[in-house]
């Protein structure tokens, strides 16, 4: 394959790393034991808390999102206690499996994978748990495998209506710094994020935000733990905050990414994601008129602003479309994962993206639909342009 041009990464993670961030990371090793470096890290953590909308604690790990999952579980839930997990897709299921592997009882609540979860069903299960064995509800805000956004406020309301004390723990890995989120105001006790999605960094940093109820539960949690333990991460030195050598280059990159977000303004960042998502959805809606492809998420209001999952009629193979876009035209789209392997195409639209990139990616997708003979109403790109011109 001959590579020319820049190529486009339209994955729901990892996302594009801006040149500014790459340059900020390109430096020699530093002595992390200085007051200056401690200040740099503290400033980053404070800014992250602001984006999360919390006055709670921020714990930072040299880890993937999967690390954030484990950090939340081992600090909050003891062996032989239980969690409640709405089975929204591949990520919710993966988190539930991890809980099971840690000896935690898992109550999965089936959900329609094409719609936001039904809080009434959760409420029923919570009401039935009279002994309060359920310590936490684990929710994926944006379930990246389906492109469906699930509202943490609806889960909070179900917990309150049921009078159940379980913690609300939210995986915001695919929404953080891309869709608006207010941890404290929404009654979220613990929130998770990772570096390689809305934060525009390489994979490798995971963040866990803990409110007062979560901190209190962690203090009482009987589970043996060490690397992930919040109590061991209380020091003022960056070495203590990381429980080991801080990944210094990642912190320089994080500082730069946070500066970029601050310069744009978080409201403008969220508005940009919403606007680019509208353009993507306008194109998909147009193509879908011919009946061979459709929005996986059936409720327009619940379609995430960070990823759009597209389903296909029988006989159309999304993997062929994906391969042709990537190998023929240098545009990488996401595929189906978990139960949707081979059945979905996922268009990522989060992080460092602008109109030109999104229109380019949609143009290539329309070209590939044509080349592969997938029935579609032409004019998807035109519809996207109209959506962008409308505001």
Residue from 193, 190, 172 nearest 181 by CA = 172
Q: Does 169 bind ligand PLP (CB under 6 A)?
A: no
Binds ligand PLP by CB under 6 A, chosen from 8, 11, 13, 331: 13
DSSP SS3 for 96: helix
Stretch that binds ligand PLP, among 34-42, 150-158, 170-178, 221-229 (CB under 6 A): 170-178
Residues in region 217-256 near ligand PLP by CB under 6 A: none
| DSSP bridge pairs for 57 | 210
Q: Which is nearer to ligand PLP, 12 or 318 (CB)?
A: 12
Binds ligand PLP by CB under 6 A, chosen from 18, 30, 66, 375: 66
Residues in region 297-336 near ligand PLP by CB under 6 A: none
Q: For residues 113 and 141, is the Cβ–Cβ distance under 8 A?
A: no
Residues in region 184-223 near ligand PLP by CB under 6 A: 194, 203
Scanning the chain, the segments in alpha helix (DSSP H) are: 19-25, 35-52, 65-76, 90-101, 119-128, 152-162, 212-220, 238-242, 248-264, 266-288, 318-329, 355-371, 380-389
Residue with CB nearest ligand PLP?
65
Q: Does 174 bind ligand PLP (CB under 6 A)?
A: yes
Binds ligand PLP by CB under 6 A, chosen from 11, 45, 61, 65: 65
Q: Which is nearer to ligand PLP, 91 or 209 (CB)?
A: 91
Stretch that binds ligand PLP, among 60-68, 73-81, 260-268, 311-319 (CB under 6 A): 60-68
Q: Which is nearer to ligand PLP, 106 or 383 (CB)?
A: 106
Binds ligand PLP by CB under 6 A, chosen from 47, 70, 81, 171: 171
Q: Which is nearer to ligand PLP, 146 or 381 (CB)?
A: 146
Q: Which is nearer to ligand PLP, 84 or 381 (CB)?
A: 84
Considering the complex, what minimum distance in angstroms separates the CB of residue 227 from ligand PLP? 16
- Distance (Å, rounded) from C-alpha 313 to C-alpha 293? 6
Q: For residues 140 and 293, is the Cβ–Cβ distance under 8 A?
A: no
DSSP string, 313-345: -TT--HHHHHHHHHHHHSEEEEE--GGGTTTEE
Residue from 211, 192, 217, 232 nearest 77 by CA = 217
DSSP string, 180-246: ---TTTTT-SEEEEETTSTT---S-EEEEEE-HHHHHHHHH-----STT-GGGG--SSHHHHHTS--
Residues in region 91-150 near ligand PLP by CB under 6 A: 91, 140, 144
Count CB neighbours of 29 within 10 A.
Answer: 8
Binds ligand PLP by CB under 6 A, chosen from 30, 64, 157, 388: 64
Q: How many amino acids of this chain bind ligand PLP (CB under 6 A)? A: 12
Q: Which is nearer to ligand PLP, 13 or 351 (CB)?
A: 13
- Distance (Å, rounded) from C-alpha 170 to C-alpha 214? 12
Q: Which is nearer to ligand PLP, 151 or 289 (CB)?
A: 151
Q: Interface residues with ligand PLP (CB under 6 A)? A: 13, 64-66, 91, 140, 144, 171, 173-174, 194, 203
């Amino acid at each position: 394959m001959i590579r020319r041009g820049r190529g486009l990464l339209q994955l729901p993670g990892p996302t594009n790393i801006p040149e500014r961030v790459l340059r900020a990371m390109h430096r020699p090793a530093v002595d992390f034991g200085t007051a200056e470096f401690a200040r740099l890290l503290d400033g980053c953590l404070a800014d992250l808390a602001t984006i999360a909308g919390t006055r709670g604690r921020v714990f930072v790990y040299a880890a993937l999102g999967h690390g954030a999952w484990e950090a939340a579980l081992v600090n909050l839930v003891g062996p032989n206690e239980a969690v409640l997990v709405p089975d929204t897709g591949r990520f919710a299921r993966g988190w539930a499996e991890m809980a099971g592997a840690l000896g935690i009882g898992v109550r999965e609540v089936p959900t329609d994978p094409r719609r936001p979860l039904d809080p009434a069903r959760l409420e029923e299960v919570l009401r039935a748990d009279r002994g309060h064995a359920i310590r936490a509800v684990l929710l994926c805000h944006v379930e990246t495998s389906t492109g469906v956004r699930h509202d943490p406020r609806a889960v909070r309301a179900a917990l309150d209506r049921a009078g159940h004390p379980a913690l609300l723990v939210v995986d915001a890995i695919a929404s953080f710094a891309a869709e608006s989120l207010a941890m404290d105001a929404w009654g979220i006790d613990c929130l998770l994020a990772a570096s390689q999605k809305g934060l525009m960094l390489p994979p490798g940093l995971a963040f866990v935000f803990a409110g007062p109820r979560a901190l209190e539960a962690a203090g009482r949690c009987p589970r043996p733990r060490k690397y992930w333990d919040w109590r061991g991460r209380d020091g003022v030195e960056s070495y203590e905050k990381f429980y080991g050598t801080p990944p210094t280059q990642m912190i320089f990159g994080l500082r730069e990414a946070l500066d970029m977000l601050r310069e744009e303004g978080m409201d403008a960042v969220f508005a940009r994601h919403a606007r680019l998502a509208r353009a993507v959805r306008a194109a998909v809606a147009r193509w879908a008129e011919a009946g061979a492809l459709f929005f996986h998420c059936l409720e327009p209001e619940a379609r995430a602003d960070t990823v759009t999952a597209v389903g296909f009629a029988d006989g159309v193979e999304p993997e062929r479309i994906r391969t042709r876009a990537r190998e023929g035209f240098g545009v990488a789209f996401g595929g189906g994962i978990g139960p949707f392997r081979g059945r979905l195409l996922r268009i990522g639209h989060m992080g460092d993206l602008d109109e030109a990139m999104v229109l380019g990616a949609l143009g290539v997708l329309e070209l590939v639909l044509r080349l592969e003979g997938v029935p579609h109403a032409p004019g998807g790109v035109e519809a996207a342009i109209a959506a962008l011109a409308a505001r």
